[in-house]
Amino acid sequence: MTEQLSNPETQKQEIIEQEQTERTKESRMYVPRVDIYESDEAIHILADIPGADENSIDITLEKNVLTIEAEVQAEKPQDYSLMYAEYGIGGFRRKFNLSNEIDQEKIVAEVKDGVLKLVLPKSEKVTQKISVKAAKE
């Protein structure tokens, strides 16, 4: 799993591009807060992405890297202007490395009230274990 959250604040954490690539759009991007838990059958990811809905979420899986990306349209109340801001509005992005034990074909995602829920079922193929013998001299 990548991208550690460094500050445990109630404030959203803005993404600072550390790699060479930058986004072309000038909108802000934040790191969504997540809960990740594992049951016997699956790994569950819950991510807070307020302002995003099923049409603006993009989940991609490439070479074991799961990327959650959500666009958030800044919805201004019509004719009102922002007077005071405690939070910024922008999209969300976070990447996770998945292990091979996930059945990548059967990942299920749903969103409700700004919370994305991902269920990553564990694959039935059990990783082959190689027993190590003590070498005799």
Partner 1 sequence: MIYRRKSSPSLWEEMDKLQRDMNRMFDSTLMNRLSDRPLNSHDFPAMNVWTKADAGQVITAEIPGMNVDDLDIKVVGETLTISGSRQAPVDDENIRYHRQERGYGSFTRTIQLPFPIDVDKVEANYEKGVLKIWLPRAESDKPRKITVKAI
Q: Cβ closer to partner 1: 9 or 124?
A: 9
Residue 10 touches partner 1, criterion: CB under 8 A:
yes
Alpha carbons 55 and 70: distance in angstroms, whole number: 9
Number of residues that bind partner 1 (CB under 8 A): 44
50's tokens = 């307020």
Rounded (5°) CA angle 45-54-75: 110
β-strands 115-121, 108-112 pairing: antiparallel
Closest to 111 measured CA to CA, from 58, 53, 63, 60 = 53
Query: Looking at residue 122, what DSSP letter applies?
Result: B
Q: Cβ closer to partner 1: 112 or 133?
A: 112
Residue 83 touches partner 1, criterion: CB under 8 A:
yes
Q: Which of residues 20-39 bind partner 1 (CB under 8 A)?
A: 33-39
34's tokens = 């997540």
Alpha carbons 74 and 90: distance in angstroms, whole number: 7
Site track 86-115 with partner 1 (rule: CB under 8 A), x = hit: xxxx----------------------xxxx
The one segment of 10-18, 60-68, 101-109, 123-131 that binds partner 1 by CB under 8 A: 10-18
Q: Which residues bind partner 1 (CB under 8 A)?
A: 1, 5-12, 33-40, 43-44, 46, 48-53, 75-77, 79-89, 112-115
